[in-house]
Amino acid sequence: MNQIHKSKIEKMLAEEFCCTPAQLNGNGVLYTVKSHTEKPFLKILAYRNCVTVCTSEDIAGDIRRLLRNKNRDEIFELPFVYGQTIHYIPDHVPTGGNSIPSDFHCEILFGNDIRSLNGLTGFENSLAFDGDGGTAAQAAYIARDGGKIIGAAGAAKTLADGVWEVGVDVREGYRNKGIASGLVSGLTKELQERDIVPFYSASVTNIGSQMVAARCGYIPCWVDTFGTTLDGSFAYQDIVDALSGELTHDVRANAEFAVSLADSGDLPRILQIYGRARRFMKESGNTSQWKDGFPPESLLAEDIRAGHLYVVRDVKDKTIHGVFAFIIGDDPTYARIEQGRWLSDTEYGTLHRVAGDGTVHGIFAAAVAFCEEKVSHLRIDTHEDNHVMQHLIVKSGFQKCGIIHVEDGSPRIAYEKGAEGEKDQGEGAFAVCV
């Protein structure tokens, strides 16, 4: 890599990820904090031998705990990560090997001259204009077919002085003719002749765009993610909300809850919540649990009569947001445990059928806190495909103890909390249980 390019790129990345160039050239995982962000922020960078995890201060501790002992690939598979992008820099100054077909006329524009293209649409990656005619592009290399613009490469300034990001668009019907490669090569040459360092970005799934980079002499330099997963704009926001629990500090994250026994008048709302939970399980890949309308209304009614079913209400508006069953005493399905052992045989309480409506955070934490007031020794189990619940269980301090089988014979992962001697086990308890 050209040392001037390297220095400028590292300065830009260091500013964006709140670190120093020297730290970027280190090894392992670097955790940094971005101050003064309005919403929870998470962005991950892979550069050379270093992975940098940059977060807002409010979630820094939670993210660090989630990623403890994870390698590079596992970090980039974090459920909160999306928008992985490969960023390329030129390996050399283009020499004209990617020329625009002679049928088209090309021109280069800089600065205010680009405003002459105001009103142009369909070029969001290169020449997007706002309502006032402004654009982030400071340079543009355009191709015309007669008087019609059919392709454009644009370059926008970044936070770092002398580093500009290049994007390209080609109209439908003109693609696969070498126009994109020719435009990017031409613009790259113009920028480098002005001592500007260009970089080109492509989604990890956009093979065509990656091929353009390769044909233009660009080489991969770093990979990063979008920083907007937790701001409410994610395409899979409902899944992220359930995974993150209190992590995202949603506007309802600080809601206060009251837990009480359910009564028959609560059944319609309880059925709604379980219906929503079944849909979420299916959408998030858990198709094996709670099939065929489980739990049925008859079971819920029986739980209510026995005094085992509880609801979680918002203390202000009394809305029921969650439901769970809690039973103190021996659970027959826990009599035998495989691939591990229970930590204690003292009296315990078991949580079953925990569900929330997805509109607030903290339902599971409220249920656990309520149960701990009744008995400190708790057990719970969940399906191997229910990754959301596994995350919440471990986050609430439960330890994984082994595998049990429910009445139909299917296996469940079993957890325990507050057992005598548990503290002596530490994190090593996981090693003897899985």
Parallel, antiparallel, or unpaired for β 148-157 and 163-170? antiparallel
Q: What is the pTM of this model?
A: 0.56
Q: What is the pLDDT along the chain (434 residues), one digit of tens a residue?
A: 788 889 999 999 999 999 999 999 999 999 999 887 766 789 999 999 999 999 888 788 888 888 888 899 999 988 778 789 999 999 875 555 567 888 899 999 999 999 899 888 889 889 888 777 788 899 999 999 998 999 999 999 987 899 999 999 999 999 998 999 999 999 999 999 999 999 999 999 999 999 999 999 999 999 999 876 565 555 555 555 555 554 444 334 445 899 999 999 999 999 999 988 888 777 667 777 887 788 999 999 999 999 999 999 998 889 999 999 999 999 999 999 999 999 999 999 999 999 988 777 789 999 999 999 999 999 999 998 888 888 889 989 999 999 999 988 889 999 999 875 443 333 322 212 22
Domain 258-430: top CATH class: alpha beta
Q: Are 54 and 18 in contact (CB under 8 A)?
A: yes
Token pair, residue 367, equals 């249920």
Map out the domains of the chain as residue ranges: 3-90, 105-196, 258-430
178-200 in b/e burial notation, b at 16+ Cβ within 10 A?
bbbbbbbbbbbbbbbeeebbbbb
Beta bridge partners of 249: none
Distance CA 243, CA 394 (A): 12
Tell me if domain 105-196 and domain 258-430 are identical in fold: yes
Q: Which of 3.10.20.30, 3.90.226.10, 3.40.50.300, 3.40.630.30 is the CATH number of 105-196?
A: 3.40.630.30
Which residues, including other chains, have CB under 8 Å from residue 266's CB and lie 6 or more apart?
Answer: 304, 311, 320
Burial level of 89, CB count in 10 A (0-12/13-18/19+)? buried
